[in-house]
Structure 1
Amino acid sequence: MPSTLLWGAAGGIGKALTQQLTASGHTVVAISRHPAEMKSLTPHVIAADLSQPPQVSAAARMAAGMGAPFDLFIYAAGDIASLKTAEMTPADWNRILSANLTGAFLTAQASLPHLKADARLVFIGAVHERLRLPGLSAYAAAKAGLEAFAEVLRKETRLPVLVIRPGAVDTPFWKKVPFSMPKNALSPQALAEKILTALEEDKTGVLDIS
């Protein structure tokens, strides 16, 4: 039975991926700050704040006992805020970069020893070129950095790495920005289906999904 290590599992996309991976026969170890929300989806749940390196390291070690070596690593955590540069605090900036970029580094680093030799890594990114808008400097910078990090990680590990760049997705993110959600926004379930299809087709690199 294949196994997946999913970080940031309690968000809308993370939950949908957990549901569909479990339904397809994966053992999913779900790591989140909100473990209670995941217990109905998978019995393998670990609580961790992904902004705290000791918690990430401890969670990876705990996960190893539940499903390692893992076939699939997924980083689905993220956060957004609409704050212009003049009004943003260093704490605001660091929070967005931590969720979208630094957390990806911490979790990938902690997970690598527990992955199979041919494991795949997936990061949920964004079409950051379209997000270079007033108030989104931290988010756009973090998602651009995530793509660069993923590319270098692929070269270092020689493992297949896929960055998913969704279009609009119907998640609570839209409550944090002063934009209306497009009518054609994907549901998290529809996005998860497309991600699984991309994995079945052995997609790597950067993939836009809408």
Structure 2
Amino acid sequence: MTDTTARVALVTGGSGGIGRAVVERLARDGIAVGVHYAGNRARADEAVAAIIEAGGRATAIGGDVADEHAMADAFDTVEREFGGIDVVVNTAGIMVLSPIATLDLDDLDRIHRTNVRGTFVVSQQAARRVRRGGAVVNFSTSITRLRPPAYGAYAASKAAVESMTLVLARELRGKDITVNAVAPGPTATPLFFQGKDQAAIDDLAEATPLERLGTPEDIAEAVAFLAGPARWINGQVLYANGGLA
């Protein structure tokens, strides 16, 4: 018989990078985890196997976050497997760097499909399905404060995420569900390293008062805080960036 008392999470983009750290961190808190992936089933299966080996519960779910039917199916799968959903974490996202003047508009559409529409679609399902006492955690970026050149399209997409996060927190009045966003700073993931030379990486690491890049585990701790004990934090953007901004 399905256990309906344990907490359950669905993490989009949970197969790698920050998402992988998040699913493992939530599993350590005793949360059953749906590990979502977009195209790499093998990486999701690896994450699931690691959680199960450590004594947790997890299952892999595929699908395009921007496809409302695929995401409805993903939520259905997690509910069937674990009895409900208490936590939804949107880590799925893409980044293309280019000056605004030269950005390929097809890349703009791809960024917004995943980062904006994808977050909206998943948040819509979360608003309908997350149980009382639950939490929704979306992902923004500290780039919305730093505003460096070449990040225009990415920053715009994440500013949209912040706005919909704060609106949804107010729309869920009376349901005892918190809605917040985490805004990482420079974090050592494949997405961060993409397109950067070593000098640029070193400069960003030294820019923080802690003089290092963040790790996926650093960001996962912020998510676990918002997903669990942080019941009086709602409608906020938490900047997890080592004091960079």
TM-score between both structures, scaled by the size of structure 1? 0.90
Distance 1:101 1:107 in 2: 10
Corresponding residue of 1:180:
201
Matches within 5 A, 1:72-83: 72-83=87-98
Of 38, 43, 46, 1:37 maps to 43
Distance 1:40 1:49 in 2: 20
Distance 1:111 1:130 in 2: 27
Q: Which runs of 5+ in 2 are unaligned?
A: 1-5, 49-57, 206-211
Distance 1:185 1:155 in 2: 34
Read off the aligned partner of 1:63 and give its amino acid letter: V
Distance 1:117 1:130 in 2: 33
Distance 1:161 1:111 in 2: 10
Q: Which runs of 4+ in 1 moved over 6 A?
A: none
Q: Does 1:201 align with 2:235?
A: no
Give me the CA root mean square deviation.
Answer: 1.9
Corresponding residue of 2:130:
115
Distance 1:27 1:66 in 2: 10
Corresponding residue of 1:15:
20
Distance 1:162 1:193 in 2: 14
Deviation (angstroms), 1:131: 4.2
Which secondary structure does the structure 1 equivalent of 2:101 belong to?
coil
Higher strand share: 1
Read off the aligned partner of 2:124 and give its amino acid letter: Q
**Paired residues of 2:126 and 2:136 also in contact (CA < 8 A):** no
Deviations, residues 36-65 of structure 1 (Å, cap 9, x unaligned): 212233241111122333322222222221
Read off the aligned partner of 1:167 and give its amino acid letter: G
**Paired residues of 1:18 and 1:30 also in contact (CA < 8 A):** yes
Deviation (angstroms), 1:96: 1.0
Q: Does 1:70 align with 2:85?
A: yes
Read off the aligned partner of 1:29 and give its amino acid letter: G
**Paired residues of 1:11 and 1:77 also in contact (CA < 8 A):** no
Count of residues paired in the alignment:
210
Structure of greater Rg: 2
Q: Percent identity?
A: 24
Distance 2:153 2:64 in 1: 20
Deviation (angstroms), 1:166: 1.5
Cα gap change, 1:103 to 1:153, in 2 (>3 Å)? same
Tell me which moved more, 184-193 or 34-43. Answer: 34-43
Which secondary structure does the structure 2 equivalent of 1:6 belong to?
strand
**Paired residues of 1:81 and 1:177 also in contact (CA < 8 A):** no
Distance 2:98 2:20 in 1: 27
Read off the aligned partner of 2:47 and give its amino acid letter: L
